[in-house]
Each structure stands twice: as structure tokens, then as C-alpha cells.
Structure 1
Amino acid sequence: MTTLRCAVLDDYQGVAESLADWSRLAEEVDVRFVRTHLDGPDAVAAAIADCEIVVAMRERTPFPAELFERLPALRLLITSGMRNASIDLAAAARHGVTVCGTASNSEPPAELTWALLLGLARRVVPEANALRTGGPWQSTLGADLHGRRLGLIGLGKIGAKVAAVGQAFGMDVAAWSRNLTDERAVEVGVTRVDSLDELLESSDFVSVHVQLGDRTRGLLGADELKRMRSTAFLVNTSRAAIIDQEALLQALHEGWIAGAASDVFDTEPLPADHPLRTAPHFIGVPHLGYVTRRNYEGYFQGAVEDIEAFLGGEPVRVLG
């Protein structure tokens, strides 16, 4: 029997092997784990051109049409989660590649949203750094949540979970998106506002929870950020391109807003000289929204199930 080759990409923490029972595949598949990021199609093609199966972690490694042309052996591509905008599904189909997904949970990114929002509101990073380095004892004033408005851009699964926590804090929660209906707002128990401008102008905290697409790319540019209150905070755990990154830098440096936090960036991993690393009043974390043990167990155990089903001739969770 010919052994198939499988590469598990972007295993940054070196945990993929321990979070699923890959031994179930041992008789038919040789699995290798790639811990370093393969930057660009050339590096990806050179590293996995011999693989019939590839497991991709979210959108860390894009699979555009040109890459499929350089992976002639590839037959099965698995992505964590059931949606991956960085995979050209049409190209995959043309090259005879089956694309499958795995289960994913919406709780982790909602939880991280609150870690970032609270970190901004209570100035956790500068105060913690001052404590560790012998700096001044209490140098900032925190922002209150109770009685303040939380403005959500998007009210899907994640946005609704963020809304519930805001309500528990006693916040006035409002939401806007192009597709948001009165019925959905009532269901979640939030105020639907008529326009993005109204949401930005009236909110003390703004959190982004829409998918990236043609209508949301650059949704928040300089004009929109200037509409926010100078005391307001902005959190993005969705996709970087929803916010114009140059405008965000200008907003932080010129004080249009009180601060911002992001889990997502235009280039990932973030280059060492990226200006957001040193931007004032900014908290950045390296795309941790889905990086929890339970989610990873679901991803990698699901990947094993996907491979078994594919080998059995009945693929599951097929995308496209």
C-alpha cells in the first residue's frame, strides 16, 4: 500500500500532534508538522509539493489559484473552521482538490474581545509594565463601562456573545450592520441604529464583528474614525482590512480616539518593524481569537476525521 503524505501547517506552538490521535492514520498516512510559517507561494510549494494532504490553520497560509498549480500531488486540503477566505475554492475544484473544514467555536473570539476591551479601558498594559519596571504607581485613569455605550459593528454569533457580556456590565449596547434587522436586534436585546455614522458618534467603545468582503473592506477609514469620540476605544478581532490601517495609525498618533486594540493585522506574522508595534495607546496580540485548547482540539481531531472520511471515499464537511 502506498503511504500518503500529509503536512500540518503553521503549528506555531508545536501542539497539533498532541491534541489529536494521528496514530489512527498511521497505516495509510505519514503526517509531518510544520512549525515555522511558510511565507509566500514559493516557500509553500517547496515545502509541501510532495503532499497529497494538507491541513491549514485558518488563514495563516493562503491557497490562491497559482499555488494549486504548483501542488500537483495535492488531493485533500483541510482548513480549521468551516470558512476560509484565503482558499480559492474554484481553483481547488479545477485541480481536483477536495476542501474540507472542521468544527469551530464562537466563544473564544468573543472572550478575547473582552480581554482587549477591558485592557484598553483600565490601561492594563501600561500600568502592568510600570509595575514590573519600577515605574510610577497609578499613572492613568480607567474608563468606566457601566452606563456607557458599546457599539457593535455586526451582530452575528460572536457579536451577540459580546453584546451579552456588555449587558452584564450594565452597558447600553447598540449595533449596526448593513443586513441587521429590527427582529435580530430585539432577539439579542440591543438597540439597532440606522447608520454606521450614528453608531460611531454615539459609542464609547466600538467593536468590529463583521466578515471581510467587498462591502466591508475599508469600512472604517479616516472619515469614519474621525466621527468617533476622542474618549472612545476601538477593538478589532475580525479582520484587519475592515479598518484602514494607515488611518488607524493616524488616529492613534493624532488622538482622534483614546485607544485601539487588534488581534488581526494586514500581514501575519506581523513584521518586526511594523508601525503598529510602537503606536501609542494600542494593544496588539498575535491573532489569538481562536487559539484555545478546546478550539484546537476540535480543529485537529476534526482534521483526522476528515482524512479518514476522505480515505474511505465519503468526504465530510466539504466546502465549496
Structure 2
Amino acid sequence: MLRALVAGENPPDWADAAARDAGIEFVRVGDDQVQDEAVAYVMNSFGRHEPEPVTVDVLARMPKLRIVVYLGQSQEPQDYTSFVDLDAIRSAGVALATTPAGDAVAEAAIGMMIAADLDLVAAATVSSSVINRRGLSGATLGIVGLGQIGRRVAEIGVAMGMKICYTSRHEHPEEVGGNLHAQRRGLDDLCAESDFISVHTSNSAPAGLIGTALERARGAVLINSASAPKLVDPAALLNTLESGNLRRAVVEGRYGEPWQDRLTRLGPHRFVSVPLYSSWDTPAAREAGWNQAIAALSAASDGLVIPNRLV
């Protein structure tokens, strides 16, 4: 029986049973004897739990550890540096796998676009008889980061009649000639051309990655569902909302003060923040995550190729 410590929220009963059927025992972090025997470490932030990071000290307490699984959507190793010391696990020969399953984040991004376009939050809280709506069909959707989630947002956008442009560290020629007909742009040109801007770049990207380029926008709606407000410079965001370069913005998570307060003072017609992780924490995402975690642990136990392995 492979013993796997769980850091974060406990697995649901059905996942516990499925793990046992696969020869895996989930146990809670805290028992020193258990840590001595643990071969796997499963981490999640469900229910806003913050698991203990995997550091050199943790590895010393878990000498038999072979695999860490983080229940998360990103496939960028650097996005997990807050939870895992990547150099330490590489040196120890410990694998890192994730669970990029489901469409929760893409669905949330599209939902935020529709809500922002209809001004639904303000309509529910502020008396108004006018909705300044653009509509998604025929609009240009600019995607910052065309990875797995960004590509899925683009697919849904195309199905709704949107035109796609993107900026990315890597060119995606298959998306230009494929069904998406996506056009690669620099960040400045993307902001200038887009009616909706959706942020899906890696959380490890530099803070303020999106800043003065927003001055090129012409009444666009900005959606940042990347669980990293820092990707959009708060001063640039405030300035472009005040100037009208941005019509509205929806951000997952909160900025530090004084920026959060200054942005909130613009009112729900202009700026809305939603709880951190709300874009991906759904029942379907949790179920897919636990199933993929069990699959990764089973593969590690059987000496097979570990799915969604990052390290």
C-alpha cells in the first residue's frame, strides 16, 4: 500500500475509497512516524487551505518521498515555487505532477466577460437604467498567454463568434491556421485591437507584466482570472479605468492597499474583484483533480510514466 500524505483539505470519501482500491492510503500530515514512511505528498488549496510547502526540511523528514502531486491547473513548474522548492526536489529525485483537468477557469473567464459586458454586478447593487453593452459576438478577444487554459478560452470565444488575437512567449502556428484563426500580436497591439482582454499567463510572470500597454486600449473590458492580480499593474489599471481606456475590469483576488481601496472606490460599474481561486474551485474541478492525483500516484507506484509530470 502506497502511503500518501495529504496537505490541505481532506480528500472526499469517494476519493479515499478510490485510492484504497488503487493501493493508495491517504493520511493527514502531522504524524512523524507517518512522514517517515510516506512515499507521496498530495497538496491542495481547496477550501482556502494553505498546505505546508515542500522544502529541504520537509524532504529530510520524508526520506522515502518519491512524488509530490499538487491539485492545480497550471502546467508551468514555476507557478508552484510558493509550494515546492523545485531545486530541492530535483536534487532529491522527487517527481512533481499536477492535475490540469476540466474547463473551470475557461468557463469562469467567459462568464466574467458576459457579466462585465452586461454590468451585472452594478445592476444588482446600483440603480441604473442604462447598460453600455458591447456583446461578445463579433468582438475581438485578446488573450495574454495561449497555454492550455488560454486556448480553451479562445475555443469558447470562437464558438460565440469572437475573433482571436493573442500574445505569448511562444508562437502557436497551429492556432493561426486552425479553427481559431488566432493572430499573434505584441502586448501593445493586442490591447489596442481587443474589445475584451483575458489574462492567462503564468503566475510566475513578472509583477506588472501588463501595465502601460493598457493605455492603448479603447474601451476594452479586462478579465484577470489567473489568480494573480500582480500580473496587471494596479497603477496602470486605475489610470486606464479612470481615463476610459478600459471600460471595466474584473480581477480574481485582491491587490494590496492602497490600490484595492482606490480601485474599489471607482464603483462596481468599473471594477469588481472576486475571491481568489473562485475561477477553478468547482465540484467538477475537484473531482477531476482527485482522479488525476490518484492516476499519478498509481503510475509512480507501478513504475510507469507519470501523467502531467512537471519535474
Please indicate, yes or no, whether the TM-score normalized by the shorter chain is above 0.5.
yes
CA distance in 2, matches of 1:143, 1:278: 23
Which residue, out of 171, 189, 194, partners 1:203? 194
Cα drift, residue 174 of structure 1:
2.3
- For the residue of structure 2 that corresponds to 1:258, the secondary structure is strand
CA distance in 2, matches of 1:124, 1:206: 18
Residue 261 (structure 2) aligns with = 275
Cα drift, residue 204 of structure 1:
1.3
Which structure 1 segments of 5+ residues have no match?
A: 34-46, 131-135
Which structure 2 segments of 5+ residues have no match?
A: none
CA distance in 2, matches of 1:156, 1:181: 10
TM-score, normalization: structure 2?
0.74
Cα drift, residue 187 of structure 1:
1.4
Residue 121 (structure 2) pairs with residue 125 (structure 1) = yes
Which residue, out of 282, 287, 293, partners 1:303? 293
1:261, 1:284 within 8 Å by CA — same for their partners in 2? yes
1:185-264 paired onto structure 2 within 5 Å: 185-213=176-204, 217-221=207-211, 223-229=212-218, 231-238=219-226, 239-253=228-242, 255-264=244-253
CA distance in 2, matches of 1:124, 1:158: 24
- For the residue of structure 1 that corresponds to 2:15, the secondary structure is coil
1:156-211 CA-partner distances (Å, limit 9, x unpaired): 33223222332333333222334224443121433414422111112111112222
Residue 21 (structure 1) aligns with = 16
Cα drift, residue 119 of structure 1:
0.9
- For the residue of structure 2 that corresponds to 1:275, the secondary structure is helix
CA distance in 1, matches of 2:137, 2:100: 31
Equivalent pairs counted in the alignment come to 289
Residue 43 (structure 1) aligns with = none
1:106, 1:157 within 8 Å by CA — same for their partners in 2? no
TM-score, normalization: structure 1?
0.73
AA paired with 2:114?
L
Residue 109 (structure 2) aligns with = 113
Residue 289 (structure 2) pairs with residue 294 (structure 1) = no
Which residue, out of 44, 53, 58, partners 1:57? 44
CA distance in 2, matches of 1:107, 1:250: 32
1:211-248 CA-partner distances (Å, limit 9, x unpaired): 2445x653211x1111111x211111234333223432
2:106, 2:149 within 8 Å by CA — same for their partners in 1? yes
RMSD over equivalenced CA pairs, Å: 3.8
AA paired with 2:88?
A
2:56, 2:88 within 8 Å by CA — same for their partners in 1? yes
AA paired with 2:152?
K
Residue 174 (structure 2) pairs with residue 157 (structure 1) = no
Residue 90 (structure 2) pairs with residue 93 (structure 1) = yes
1:233-286 CA-partner distances (Å, limit 9, x unpaired): 11112343332234324433554411111225568xxx9x95378353223222
CA pair 277-8 structure 1, distance change in 2 beyond 3 A: farther
Residue 168 (structure 2) pairs with residue 171 (structure 1) = no
2:264, 2:272 within 8 Å by CA — same for their partners in 1? no
Which residue, out of 122, 126, 134, partners 1:143? 134
- For the residue of structure 1 that corresponds to 2:209, the secondary structure is coil
